[in-house]
Structure 1
Amino acid sequence: MSSPLPSVALARWLLQRAKTNRRGFTLAELLVAIAVGSVIVTSMLYLVVELLGTNVREERLTQAQQDTRRALDYISRDAREAVFVYADPATVADQLTDAPADSIPVLAFWRLKPIDIGAIAGCNTDACATLRVRQNVYDLVVYFHRPNNPGDLWSGPGRIIRYELTNYSNFAAQTPTDGYRDPSLTRDGFASWTREGDTTTGSKPVLADFIDVHDDTLGDVVCPTAFLPTTTAESNSFFVCVRDTGAGANPLNQSMSVFLRGSTVEPGTGTAVIFGPTSRNSSLPTISTEVLVRGRIERQL
């Protein structure tokens, strides 16, 4: 019978050899491991931050596009009901003593507003008789583009103000609005309308905020073929082009194109959101729509 001693001795020798060869990491190995781990963790954190930033920028861009589109849709629906469009809105804006200060008139027109005949059932004046026949009144609407000042209530770079001058401040009581003259009942008509008295009192709510202001890098206002701009290049972020009837002719108050560009300036910071390597202008192109005016009175031929 063979002795187990050689096997035991071999096992002990192997165990002793393993203990002898066992050692820890060197300082260089630890430094390399830390450096590699830091690079991996930093890269992952950078990727996460970029993904979150991209998501925020895309949400801001989407919101700006939606707000701009809603404003453009409102303006186009409003202008579609016009019966007379001014080729130069400044001519009528100069008659408005309460026009928004430091604002650029971009679009001006007269439109018909339906009235409630029942509200004047007991009125027997000639004006009431005329209203019962027409069942509407003429309202003057002017869209202004106004830059916002730092510290204002409005956080965006600019805003659109819709000014409206209507016939009566209180329709049921037949209280006339200061400065209003019915263009259909005057010799001046629509094209040469002037205010009644020394002052005007219209409503001027803000239609949209976060509208971009003039940008010199965009150059002058460029209208489509057969259209002419109603304003100068100082409002190249919100402008209107009206159809031209030919060489030497004035614009025709029948068709127009409205151009509008929003802004991605973050609320309260005044800093525009930059979308990666692209510029703010390329990320927010000017959107436009063409409007065919339904009514036509006193064409400017």
Structure 2
Amino acid sequence: MNPIQFLLGIQIKRSKLLSQSGFTLLELLVAMILAVLVITPLLGFMVNILNTDRQEQAKANSEQEIQTALDYIARDLQQAVYIYDATGIDAIKNQLPSPTATDRVPVLVFWKREFIGQAITAADSNKDDTFVYSLVAYYLIKDTSTIWSNAARIARWQIRDGVSSSSTSSVTCNGYTGKFVSGYCPSSGYSSFNFDGVGTLEQKMNSWTRLSSYTTTTTTGGNTSTTTTTVMPDAPLVLVDYIDQTTTGAPSATCPTGYSKVTPTSFNTRDTGNMTGFYACIDRVNTTAQVFLRGNALARLRTTNISYRDSQKNYFPGINIRVQGRGFVFTK
């Protein structure tokens, strides 16, 4: 036989053998079982790592946010000149936004002396600083809004006086008779507290009423007309979300000796009045408040079963601070 034919024959036989080789069904099943036994634990390990990281991140975010919110409230309180207790909040509740709303409760209400930088024009054309009075209220809100979380949130409301001015460039503001620096009109409905007449400081502060309406008179073609404008207070602005909304089973609200918890009687039928995720203890005489906050990290992870439980208390970081106002008001 020709050597070339012999070699070609061997190569053809070898190709046929190779084309008929491969894995059996049993071999494939064994390989798949081994792959599952190896990959499944690895996947479970990775999923567990991701879940743990997500949970720890939720806790860290809650801790950071409530710390930032409490620092903000503390800076506000440092300028306080008068802090309302529960009786005082009940007395002025109709002057605050949404007095009949069932989804919120005012937790902290106080007057402060607010710094306004570079607002007054001095004789040398430079700007100078001044102070104005402001009324501030912090609310605990729990509703069914789809914008915010299923937990509660804290909102801040403020009404501030304008910066008075006697310069030729001053402006008039609707509802007020004085002149003010341009861009520094009083907030909608602002009215200062009144010390006229007899009574204690508490009585006078509890009798505060905001500007609810004002009239304007115009003369056109010899005809005079009067228009009455109703003034509505601005809505509170949300300061922080994911505040614990638990009403039963959560740590109780306790106050130090000499302090009284702010629990307005006209609001105590509301669920928000029974929550301890945000509450304040007041020493009105010494213009001092202790504020308590508790976050809810579970609400960042799921939408149900987010109430406080001792077994998951790590998801509910709490913090508190005691602040004394730096100013005071005095009346005879």
Cα offset, 1:94, TM superposition: 2.7
Structure 2: distance between partners of 1:149 and 1:213: 12
Structure 2: distance between partners of 1:236 and 1:294: 27
Structure 2: distance between partners of 1:145 and 1:257: 16
Structure 2: distance between partners of 1:192 and 1:117: 33
1:11 corresponds to? none
Find out whether 1:163 has 2:195 as its counterpart.
no
- Given the two structures, how large is their TM-score scaled by the length of structure 2? 0.64
Find out whether 1:195 has 2:205 as its counterpart.
no
The equivalent position to 1:154 in structure 2, one of 148, 162, 169, is: 148
- Where structure 2 has 5 or more consecutive residues not aligned to the other structure, the ranges are 1-23, 164-172, 174-179, 198-202, 214-230
Between structures 1 and 2, the one with greater strand share: 2
Partner letter of residue 105 of structure 2? I
Q: Determine helix, strand or coil for the equivalent of 1:104.
A: strand
The equivalent position to 1:290 in structure 2, one of 322, 327, 330, is: 322
Structure 1: distance between partners of 2:152 and 2:289: 23
Cα offset, 1:158, TM superposition: 1.8
Q: Deviations over 1:219-252 (max 9, x none)?
A: 5422233322112651311000123xxxxxxx53
> Are the structure 2 counterparts of residues 234 and 197 from structure 1 closer, same or farther at C-alpha, using a change threshold of 3 Å?
same
1:9 corresponds to? none
Q: Determine helix, strand or coil for the equivalent of 1:136.
A: strand
Cα offset, 1:255, TM superposition: 1.9
Partner letter of residue 112 of structure 2? R
Q: Which deviates more from structure 2 when the two are superposed, residues 263-272 or residues 282-291?
A: 263-272
Q: Where do 1:2-81 residues align within 5 Å?
A: 38-81=36-79
> Are the structure 2 counterparts of residues 120 and 94 from structure 1 closer, same or farther at C-alpha, using a change threshold of 3 Å?
farther
- Equivalenced residue count is 255
Q: Determine helix, strand or coil for the equivalent of 1:195.
A: coil
Contact 1:255 1:293 in 2 (8 A): yes
1:240 corresponds to? 280
Q: Deviations over 1:24-82 (max 9, x none)?
A: x9x7x998887676444322221111011101111111111111110111001101110
Q: Determine helix, strand or coil for the equivalent of 1:106.
A: strand
Runs of 4+ in 1 over 6 A off after TM superposition: 29-34
> Are the structure 2 counterparts of residues 291 and 40 from structure 1 closer, same or farther at C-alpha, using a change threshold of 3 Å?
same
Structure 2: distance between partners of 1:35 and 1:93: 70
Q: Determine helix, strand or coil for the equivalent of 2:246.
A: coil
- Where structure 1 has 5 or more consecutive residues not aligned to the other structure, the ranges are 1-24, 123-131, 244-250
2:297 corresponds to? 264
Contact 1:239 1:259 in 2 (8 A): yes
Percent of aligned pairs sharing the same letter? 30
2:193 corresponds to? 183
- Given the two structures, how large is their TM-score scaled by the length of structure 1? 0.69
Q: Determine helix, strand or coil for the equivalent of 1:222.
A: coil
Find out whether 1:96 has 2:106 as its counterpart.
no
Partner letter of residue 179 of structure 1? G
